[in-house]
Structure 1
Amino acid sequence: MNPSCAGNALEAGFAPPRSPAIGKKASGKDIHMPRFAASLFSIMTLTAAFGMAPALHAEETPLTTQQIQELLVGQTVEGIHFGTHTRQYFAQSGLTLWIKKGDAVPSEARYKIEDDQYCSSWTGLWTTPEWGCFSITHDAEQGLYYYIADGFRAPFVIAGGFSLSFD
């Protein structure tokens, strides 16, 4: 279609079909969802109806105790926690160092790996530990790992040996 004729086509009633009405305005006119949203809604409805609803997350594999040990011990991980760039090193001794971008020095804590979970205690090195534990999953397609606990999900990658620098 010639772009100069587009106005004439719309005036002649050849406008693309409208999306379904999703409500009424106070004036009585229909409220329509944007075409993109209507299309997306239609696709989601059809895939759900046929049992093909897309997964919320790519396929992820939970790691075992041994896999977590092989992944973390002697390594630095780099991730995003609560919107902040972070790094964490896991010494063979059970010491872990955690730093977020902008910090002058890292925080020290203890960690252990057991029952298919990574656990850490940030109560101080010389006090009775209070462990917080996380399962770890791996998304091989994206090359990401995730710490997962109730209400918490944080992505990370392996950054190599000891390295707490953000440069």
Structure 2
Amino acid sequence: MPRKIISPLVPSLVVANILLASTAFADEVKLNTQQITDLLVGKTVQGLHFGTHTRQYFAESGLTLWIKKGDSAPSEARYKIEDDAYCSSWSGLWAEPDWGCFSIVHDEKQGLYYYIGDDFRAPFVISDEFSLSF
């Protein structure tokens, strides 16, 4: 029966990959409910979603306006911030809400924020002015 020989390099590569994976987003800090509120309310977010430049404004009333490059007018929705997440309902302002929620992390090294969801990661930056035009 042939003998299997394991190179001493293999365990080292496994350990290196585990360490790399655990530090890949070391500069990212997950925001809590208060930090997300301070970050978004009354601000305009400029981001990139599915390869398209977007802007979103968060009114103090819970109304949010979202527009992507090429749109003639923004879409309206509701939002809430709770349980360390930003949640939005695009099912219509007066219909029963269907909430989608996202964590927000801050990449301190690059100065970017990210919406994080299941199979979703979208970068954005904050602007203090109301601006939905491109």
Interval containing the TM-score (normalised by the shorter chain): 0.7 to 0.9
Among the aligned pairs, what percent are the same residue? 70
TM-score by length of 1: 0.68
- After superposing on structure 2, the runs of 4+ consecutive aligned residues of structure 1 that deviate more than 6 Å are none
The residue number in structure 1 matching 2:20 is: 53
Identify if the C-alpha distance between structure 1 residues 80 and 48 changes in structure 2 by more than 3 Å, giving closer, same or farther. same
Cα offset, 1:162, TM superposition? 0.9
The residue number in structure 2 matching 1:89 is: 57
CA RMSD of aligned residues (A): 1.9
Amino acid at match of 2:123: P
Q: Name the CA distance, whole Å, in 2 between partners of 1:52 and 1:128.
A: 45
Give 1:8-87 correspondences, 5 Å limit. Answer: 45=13, 48=16, 52-53=19-20, 55-87=23-55
Partner of 1:53, secondary structure, is: helix
The residue number in structure 2 matching 1:116 is: 84
Identify if the C-alpha distance between structure 1 residues 46 and 76 changes in structure 2 by more than 3 Å, giving closer, same or farther. same
TM-score by length of 2: 0.84
Cα offset, 1:165, TM superposition? 1.2
The residue number in structure 2 matching 1:163 is: 131
The residue number in structure 2 matching 1:6 is: none
Identify if the C-alpha distance between structure 1 residues 58 and 86 changes in structure 2 by more than 3 Å, giving closer, same or farther. farther
The residue number in structure 2 matching 1:154 is: 122
| Alignment: residue pair count | 122
Larger radius of gyration: 1
Give the structure with the larger strand fraction.
Answer: 2
